[in-house]
């Protein structure tokens, strides 16, 4: 169970998670969910998984997906991060119904533009007695804890709850400014989590908490529930790391309902941690967490989102690959498991490879161009701006390459030798190691045989037949020893597109030149 202060030890208990919906809360008739990141860094896979599950729940229930930005931390928030979050959702195809850049009835959708709303609500909470002024400094709180025999970091002790007006005035006369704290109830705070079942926070386990700093700045503990209330969010889906704040939000919601600010208590669902190496929570600073690094390596949105959906959820037994449409058709937040999910990069890549194979060949090529251009393999970043020769070669190569790459970042390695006009390609180290003592004589026999092939008969099937007869049947070489040196000469790689189709694409002259080039550089 997530802990925030020592007072929360053993504070919350959760029922075992089950795979069906028995005993779980019914969802509202019209679901309204939200995604509300803070613009404090590069988008990471945990953030995307949160957005994805909210999007999928909204699409499954034909509900509303609201996207807002929580940017009240001026010291950490940045415009660059804000723009990256927008870019991430656009690239992934996670569209939203209300919020940033699309508008809606409850704007503005950036917290930095809603300051007066929070001030007004805080004033109402104070006036009604749900909040109170707190003048204690952190040093004074620690000193009182030590004096009472408690650990220094035990947390706030409720000292200011019963301050008289004279005591408050004395603090004001000292020049102190009060924080505002919410009065926590003296009974348990319980709720039915959509993923974890019943969760109970014991009375006294959560101290009175600050909603407004002494300088007047509102905190997340106020702004987040107020925005949810005013935007009529009725299903809150978020990470397990925020579970410890839920009793605070519930207590505040009770007050907001009494004040007429909120209409109803939302349902809560807390998604499992995403774990990285060594069974540790995947940090946003881990390379595997960086969304744009995955894009740079050649993940496509369909593959990455498919994999992220598996971090806590499944579409069915023994089925890992599905479309976003199928995700929307089948997703139910109540089917998500509470157990931590492990981010397995190898499995993510394997699923991405499946989605690459499902692409229309023309779509595959167009998506690949940016990577080919980045790697200097083609002359332009878009399909239409390529040369006629480049387009012709890529169209011929697509059926050979598409089934063999797992990431779009691998296309350049496969296509580079086909697009190159070089008459010699220096073999990659692992390819050169594969060359055996027989490589020179194999190349000699291959060159002699291929030299006799007319240009109009230079086709993959006939080349395969010819070299099989010359090298395997007549020469007595095993296929690996017969064709390995030719593959290395043609592509410079140990693994390449199909050899004989590659030879057809690059043509007779370049093929023979590369065979001779390797022969001269053994």
Active-site positions read 284
**What radius of gyration do the chain's Cα atoms show?**
31
Distance CA(300)–CA(130), nearest Å, equals: 49
Distance between alpha carbon 496 and the CA centroid of its chain, in Å? 31
DSSP conformation letters of 163-220: --HHHHHHHHHTT---EEEE---SS-EEEEETTTEEEEEPTTSS--EEEE-TTSPBPH
| Sign of the torsion formed by the C-alpha atoms of 378, 380, 382 and 386 | negative
Strand ranges for 202-331 from DSSP E:
209-212, 235-239, 267-271, 274-275
Closest CA to 402 of 390, 412, 391, 411: 411
Which neighbouring-strand residues pair with 482?
A: none
Question: Residue 508 has which token pair?
Answer: 């007779």
Write phi, then psi, for 153 (nearest 5 degrees). -95, 25
**Pairing, β 274-275 against β 341-342:** parallel
If one counts every other C-beta atom within 10 angstroms of the C-beta of residue 144, the result is 16
Distance CA(143)–CA(160), nearest Å, equals: 15
Distance CA(516)–CA(72), nearest Å, equals: 66
| Sign of the torsion formed by the C-alpha atoms of 340, 345, 350 and 355 | positive
Closest CA to 42 of 284, 405, 392: 284
If one counts every other C-beta atom within 10 angstroms of the C-beta of residue 52, the result is 25
The number of residues in the chain equals 522
Distance between alpha carbon 96 and the CA centroid of its chain, in Å? 17
Distance CA(227)–CA(225), nearest Å, equals: 5
Q: Rounded to whole angstroms, what are the CA distances from 201 to 13, 150, 233, 251, 252?
A: 7, 21, 23, 12, 15
Closest CA to 54 of 45, 42, 43, 63: 63
Is 478 annotated as a binding-site member?
no
Annotated binding residues, written as ranges, equal: 284
Annotated binding residues for ATP, written as ranges, equal: 284
């Amino acid at each position: 169970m997530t802990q925030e202060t020592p007072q929360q030890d053993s504070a919350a208990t959760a029922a075992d998670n089950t795979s069906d919906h028995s005993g779980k809360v019914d969802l509202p008739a019209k679901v309204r969910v939200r995604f509300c990141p803070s613009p404090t860094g590069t988008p990471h896979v945990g953030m995307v998984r949160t957005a994805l599950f909210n999007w999928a729940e909204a699409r499954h229930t034909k509900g509303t997906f609201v996207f807002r930005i929580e940017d009240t931390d001026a010291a950490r928030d940045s415009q660059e991060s804000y723009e990256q979050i927008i870019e991430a959702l656009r690239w992934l195809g996670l569209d939203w119904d209300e919020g940033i850049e699309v508008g809606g009835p409850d704007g503005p959708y950036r917290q930095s533009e809603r300051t007066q709303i929070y001030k007004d609500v805080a004033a109402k909470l104070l006036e009604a007695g749900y909040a109170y002024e707190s003048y204690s400094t952190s040093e004074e709180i620690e000193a009182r804890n030590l004096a009472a025999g408690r650990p220094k970091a035990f947390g706030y002790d409720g000292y200011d709850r019963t301050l008289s007006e004279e005591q408050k005035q004395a603090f004001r006369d000292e020049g102190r400014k009060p924080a505002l704290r919410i009065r926590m109830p003296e009974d348990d705070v319980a709720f039915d989590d959509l993923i974890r079942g019943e969760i109970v926070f014991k009375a006294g386990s959560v101290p009175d908490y600050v909603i407004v700093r002494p300088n007047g700045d509102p905190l997340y503990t106020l702004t987040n529930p107020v925005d949810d209330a005013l935007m009529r969010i009725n299903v809150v889906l978020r990470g397990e790391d925020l579970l410890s704040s839920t009793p605070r939000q519930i207590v505040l919601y009770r007050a907001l309902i009494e004040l007429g600010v909120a209409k109803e208590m939302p349902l809560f669902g807390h998604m499992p941690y995403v774990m990285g190496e060594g069974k540790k929570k995947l940090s946003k600073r881990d390379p595997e967490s960086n969304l744009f690094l995955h894009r740079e390596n050649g993940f496509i949105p369909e593959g990455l989102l498919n994999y992220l959906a598996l971090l806590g959820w499944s579409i069915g037994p023994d089925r890992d690959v599905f479309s976003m449409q199928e995700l929307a058709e089948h997703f139910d937040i109540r089917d998500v498991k509470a157990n931590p999910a492990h981010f397995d990069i190898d499995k993510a890549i394997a699923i991405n490879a499946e989605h690459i194979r499902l692409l229309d060949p023309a779509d595959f090529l167009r998506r690949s161009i940016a990577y080919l251009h980045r790697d200097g393999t083609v002359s332009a970043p878009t399909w239409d701006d390529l040369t006629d020769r480049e387009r012709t070669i890529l169209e011929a190569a697509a059926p050979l390459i598409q089934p063999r790459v797992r990431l779009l970042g691998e296309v350049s390695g496969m296509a580079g030798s086909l697009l190159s006009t070089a008459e010699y390609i220096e073999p990659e180290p692992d390819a050169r190691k594969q060359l055996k003592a027989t490589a020179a004589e194999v190349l000699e026999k291959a060159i002699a045989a291929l030299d006799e092939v007319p240009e109009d008969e230079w086709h993959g099937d006939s080349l395969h037949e010819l070299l099989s007869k010359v090298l395997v049947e007549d020469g007595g070489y095993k296929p690996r020893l017969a064709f390995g040196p030719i593959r290395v000469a043609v592509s410079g790689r140990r693994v390449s597109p199909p050899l004989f189709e590659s030879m057809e694409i690059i043509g007779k002259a370049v093929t023979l030149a590369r065979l001779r080039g390797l022969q001269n550089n053994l």
